[in-house]
Chain A
Amino acid sequence: MNKKANSATIRFRLNGQESQIVPSAGARLSEVLREELGARDVKIGCNAGDCGSCTVLLDGKPICACLTLAHQVAGRCVETLAGLHQGDETTKALAERFLDMGAAQCGICTPGMMVSAIALLRDNPSPSEADVKDALGGVLCRCTGYRKIIDAVMGAAPAASDVSGRVGDPIRHVDGPEKVSGQQAFADDIAPPGTLEIFIVRSPYPRARFELGDLEEFVATRDGIEAVLSAADIPGQNLFGVIPQFVDQPVFAETEARFRGEAVAAIVGMPETIRNFSPADFPIKWTELEAATDIISAQLAAASQLHAGRNNNVMCGGFVACGDPETAFSKADATVEGHFQSGFVEHAYIEPEAGFARMEGEKVEVYACTQAPVMDLEALEAILAIDRCQIRVVPTAVGGGFGAKLDISVQPYLALAALKTGEPVRLNYSRTESMQSTTKRHPSDMNLKIGATKDGKISGFNFYGEFDTGAYASWGPTVANRVPVHASGPYYVTDYRAETKGIHTNNPPAGAFRGFGVPQAAIAQECLFDVLAEKLGIDPLVFRLENALHEDMPTVCGQVFSQGVGIGKCLEALRPAWDAERSDVKDFNEKSETFKRGVGIAAGWYGCGNTSLPNPSTIKSGILADGTIVLHQGAMDIGQGANTVITQIFATALGAPVQSIELIGPDTDVTPDAGKTSASRQTYVSGNAARLSGEALRAQVLERLNVASDASLSFAAGVIRATDESGTRELVLAQLETDIEGYALRAEETYDPPTKPLDANGQGIPYAQFGYAAHLVVVEVDTAFGTVKPIKFVAAHDVGNAINPMLVEGQVHGGIAQGLGMALMEEYIPGSTENLHDYLIPTIGDVPPIETIIIEDSDAHGPYGAKGLGEHVLIPTAPSILNAIYDAVGVRIFQVPATPARVRAAIRAKSEPVAPL
């Protein structure tokens, strides 16, 4: 019998239950599962089969639900993570192993990873690493670097231990269970089915003038469309930005779009209407204008000016100088110069920007993925022109951020639509929208000259870099300022000059991306160090150790640390691998013609927190009358582990086990501002606030009971017991008055890092602490194809004190995977690579084993000595790979990504004499 089934009911088994649906023709299985059957554990990352996060089992086989016609499941069995986790023992065991390895960071890829792994484990309970890679190769992860996932699927010995969770304990992520069971709600998982949706009309051109047609008539004559929004609908200022002096980006462009993908209007309508809406039906007339899409043409006199007052499209610059580099060059025995370039890099978190908003009385509530809820609130306050007490920002779980979710994206559209319609609304960026419209890593064009004396001491350093900041400022000024402070690397450089410029173009805005420009500068500096060391005949590791910063030596900003300068220890830690791997590589290369191996090293440093600016975090905690300890944990956890690390610090300060602490997350109504998740500041800054909050709460208990400061506390229902040498005393909480939130005891504490402004030459105290890193990599180059395969990393990181060593490893693995991508494959080209099959990030088959060496050079300012880590990791990765390529095949790559074509061209240029003209 043939089915002609436009409105026929489809019956199938979903997670063992008989289910029925009435899908529209062409509906995707993913959409039907999520919206009609509540299976929000099926995640949508790309809608194109490129990321695998929507993987479900169809009759036991993994498929992408986003590519499957809903009709095709008729009579078949579909299983998703949430269902498997409820009933399937293999899944439950795998979930425990994911928790024990820290294999889920942000958790957005976890359902796809686990479901794919279940299909493998059912066939093969003891898979090899190769089996795991083949089975999971279709699921992308941007956080973990995949190694912990491989370990979890293979059943490696647990990295986590089941202990109280004091500082230093490798406990499981406190928010892990929701992630491995499919229960975690991300930004697109909040809205009830049937909620009004938003479609954003975007510029198809890098630069274009436009005229909107009759929008009122458009709304009036279209079924299912509730409202249209444009610049005219913005009650406050039609601008946002993250740096007060550079608030320059409109919510909706008004007459001219400055980059491809810029929003010009939005349609609010029924889900079916939005899904079927054709952009061609929107009343708008475009006139394409000549665009400046590179920094050279943007600075020409003929180029159009993107912003008034920014002459030649120079947004701003940064500058640090000390000593006299020109004189130092004249005294140097060797000088080297290099010109380095890098392209746009896309954050490529697996969760595209999404959110939900609704009116709650007079108040607009915005639920969205973000790294900076209070900054979002402040931006909305200006855009909506309403008092901040009428706005509530509630962050959802965040499926990866890496910097781009510091800027607002969906938030103003959601708030405006909720205010205009009075109805709940949702917005979920498509992968292409996410890639077109949100920020990128700045492309760089850098010139560097370094000199050294024959004994291997740096003698003169001059850096000049231009950064393509795109159409709007975003975090461009931060990049311009951070790079000159960091471009020396973690070395003692007495004669130094570093200048940067941020240049506007008609490209997407470049903003914050793990490292704020420092990874680009490190490529120039660390690669040129190898050139210089070779010229001097000095071993690259020895050369770095010779110049490494130590305590009591000034940085290029004149800052002197009397403690906590761990770069020497990081470099020393690489020495055994440096010796052993180079020897192995030599043996390998003697026997191999086409494939050549090489070893490379590079180092890096990174200042934690804002550069010479106030940067406070506030952490509130309290104890309810029933004895529950509550931590208002406002530091956004975007997968890096703030929920776990901040809780461990607080628990240690209070003297309570982590398991006894109840978390309330960031919510601008109930949780104080712990600042943004940026600049590797949460462990350090919010960690200190959590420590102070825990200590203050503890002090209140000790004082009330009049016990010794080292008394041990125990928390039971309605009572706190303190035990010291004099015995045990009890604090009965019911006897205390409670405040309006129900707290019998409470403590709210703020920490702000001690910094000092930089003068005109960049001299001052930019950061209270730096973290340090050094990486070693072994690569194999296929000389015929120019392909580069990293086969091993050794990564040494000075983290001051590892609050949770398992999470430290997780950050190291994930940062290396991103650095590897930047080095070898990632380049965003507006208009060309706006999806995850043309824009490539590393897969599970691309990240080799990583040995993490944790160095703990305690920091005087860090909580329990801890330093930040997140951004530090990918700083040395790319230059270490480029240095290893040179070691393998003798060619220097000055432009990343070092694609097979670029590496092969360099190999050919070296091996073939230049043809006469």
Chain B
Amino acid sequence: MAYHSPNDLASALDIAAQKSGIIVAGGTDVYPSAKQGVHPDFFLDVTRIRGLDGISSENGNLKFGAATTWSQIAHADLPPAFDALKQAALEVGSVQIQNAGTIAGNICNASPAADGVPPLLALNAQVELASAARGYRVLELADFLLGVRKTALARDELVTAIIIPPAPEAARSAFEKLGSRRYLVISISMVAATITCGADGRVIDASVAVGACSPVAQRLSLLERYLVGKRARDIEVGEHHLSPLSPISDVRASGSYRLDVVAEQCKRAIIRALA
């Protein structure tokens, strides 16, 4: 076992191309999933790579470095379209987890209940990946997440950034999380909504994403289309809007319960975004 902590991306990518290692940033998912007696060939610590952390503007997009922590996001000065992401940041585990856990770690862990994913989906996030052999590529987040604990990350690749294309200035957003206790809780279900309204109070554009109700968090396109042209007081969310969802039963709740509550949860997120 070795520990590597490169300062530059090129070195990191060279290391990533070697045998099977573990990429570690905050460690908040690496350690809990570690098995007694099972060891990787190396740990590749990405937290000291120059340029990999922090939020910047690039070509009109907002670029979140892979190692940007949830605390950095929660306290960043961002447009209102990012409120859902900031609210989600404050629901990732606890302050301790938010201070260490990173945005890329959250998506690479690919938990169906990752709190960061629905707001990123609702912001049309893209994932920037790099490898020594093939250079950079960019995937839609929805294409990066393939299933429970499964992503499109190649064995020799690193996520370098999450890129958010510009949202309308009028876009507003909100995040709703349902869990069995107040803090440190894995979501039963959660919803992020990004809504843009016209001066007449009618919805022009809507993105709604639901987590923990399918192997990968899903955008609700039927609901999004339905919302266009609606005013807050007209909005009713029903089961027919939820077709991509396929919630399972687990220790947190039954699948039927998740389907039952998520429509109301969507409505609350939308109304809060509109408020």
Q: Which residues of A contact B (CB under 8 A)?
A: 1-6, 23-26, 28, 47-50, 52, 55, 58, 61-64, 66-69, 71-72, 74, 116, 119, 133-135, 137-140, 276-281, 784-787, 824-825, 829, 832-833, 835, 837-838, 840, 842-846, 899-901, 904-905, 908
Contacts and interface: CB of A to CB of B under 8 A. Distances in A.
Contacts of B239: none
Contacts of A904: 257, 260-261
8 contacts: A23-B3, A63-B100, A67-B32, A116-B96, A133-B182, A134-B90, A137-B184, A843-B185
Contacts of A787: 178, 180
B104 interface: no
A48 B36 contact: no
Contact of B31 (A47, A63, A137, A280): A47
Given A784-B261, A901-B253, 16 more contacts: A1-B7, A4-B3, A26-B40, A48-B31, A49-B94, A50-B32, A52-B94, A67-B27, A71-B43, A134-B95, A837-B32, A838-B186, A842-B181, A845-B183, A899-B180, A900-B261
A486 B94 CA distance: 41
B31 A138 contact: no
Contacts of B96: 49, 52, 55, 62-64, 67, 116, 138
Interface of B: 1-8, 11, 24, 26-28, 30-32, 36-40, 42-43, 45, 47, 71, 90, 93-97, 99-100, 178, 180-186, 188, 251, 253-254, 257, 260-261, 264-265
A2 B37 contact: no
Contact of B37 (A55, A279, A908): A279
Most interface-central of B1, B184, B188, B264 (chain A CB within 10 A):
B184
- Shortest Cβ-Cβ A-B pairs, 3 listed: A138-B94, A278-B37, A845-B182
Contacts of B182: 133, 137, 843-846
A480 B215 CA distance: 44
B183 A137 contact: yes
B178 A900 contact: yes
Contact of A25 (B2, B6, B36): B2
Nearest to A282: B37
A829 B250 CA distance: 11
Contacts of B94: 49, 52, 137-139
Nearest to B262: A785
B99 to A, nearest CB: 5
A138 B39 CA distance: 28
Nearest to A24: B1
Nearest to A61: B99
B112 to A, nearest CB: 14
Which of A276, A824, A833, A840 has the most B CB atoms < 10 Å from its CB? A840
- Of A49, A74, A786, the most chain B CB neighbours within 10 A belong to A49
A842 B90 CA distance: 18
Contacts of B40: 26
Contacts of B257: 786, 900-901, 904-905
Which of A3, A119, A838 has the most CB atoms of chain B within a 10 A radius of its CB? A3
A217 B207 CA distance: 63
Nearest to B33: A48
A276 B5 contact: no
Given A1-B7, A69-B43, A137 B95 contact: yes
B27 to A, nearest CB: 4
A280 B39 CA distance: 13
Residue of B8, B40, B97, B183 with highest tally of chain A CB at under 10 A: B183
A66 B96 CA distance: 11
B40 to A, nearest CB: 8
A280 B30 CA distance: 21
B100 A25 contact: no
Where chain A touches its partner, the secondary structure class is loop
A676 B117 CA distance: 50
A63 B36 contact: no
B178 A785 contact: yes
A276 B97 contact: no
B250 to A, nearest CB: 8
Given A4-B4, A52-B94, A61-B71, A279 B183 contact: no
A40 B94 CA distance: 23
Nearest to B99: A61
B6 to A, nearest CB: 5
A239 B106 CA distance: 47
B88 to A, nearest CB: 15
A623 B218 CA distance: 73
Contact of B184 (A28, A277, A837): A837
A784 B24 contact: no
Contacts of A6: 1-3
Q: Which of A1, A25, A48, A133 has the most CB of B within 10 A?
A: A25
Contacts of A281: 37
A62 to B, nearest CB: 5
Contacts of A277: 36-37
Contacts of A67: 26-28, 30-32, 96-97, 100
A25 to B, nearest CB: 4
Contacts of A58: 99
Contacts of B8: 2
Contacts of A276: 37, 39
Nearest to B267: A784
A49 B6 CA distance: 26
B24 to A, nearest CB: 6
Nearest to A787: B178
Contact of A843 (B30, B95, B184): B184
B183 A785 contact: no
A50 B184 contact: yes
A710 B159 CA distance: 80
Nearest to A905: B257
A786 B32 CA distance: 30
Nearest to B11: A2
Nearest to A594: B264
A785 B264 contact: yes
Contacts of B188: 900
Nearest to A59: B99
B43 A25 contact: yes
A382 to B, nearest CB: 31
Contact of B42 (A24, A25, A905): A25
A279 B36 contact: yes
A717 B257 CA distance: 71
A72 B45 contact: yes
B31 A66 contact: yes
A300 to B, nearest CB: 26
A69 B11 contact: no
A2 B180 contact: no
Nearest to A785: B261
A838 B183 contact: no
Nearest to B183: A137
Contacts of A901: 253-254, 257
Nearest to B27: A67
**Residue in B28, B71, B90, B181 with the greatest tally of chain A CB atoms within 10 Å:** B181
A503 B231 CA distance: 59
Given A71-B5, A843-B184, A900-B188, A135 B37 contact: no
B258 to A, nearest CB: 9
Given A69-B24, A278-B37, A899-B180, A2 B186 contact: no
Nearest to A115: B96
A900 B180 contact: yes
A45 to B, nearest CB: 12
Contacts of A63: 96, 99-100
A52 B100 CA distance: 13
A26 B43 contact: yes
Contacts of A50: 32, 184
A900 B3 contact: no
Nearest to A1: B7
A138 B32 CA distance: 16
A631 to B, nearest CB: 40
B95 A138 contact: yes
Contacts of A68: 27, 100
Contacts of B100: 63-64, 67-68
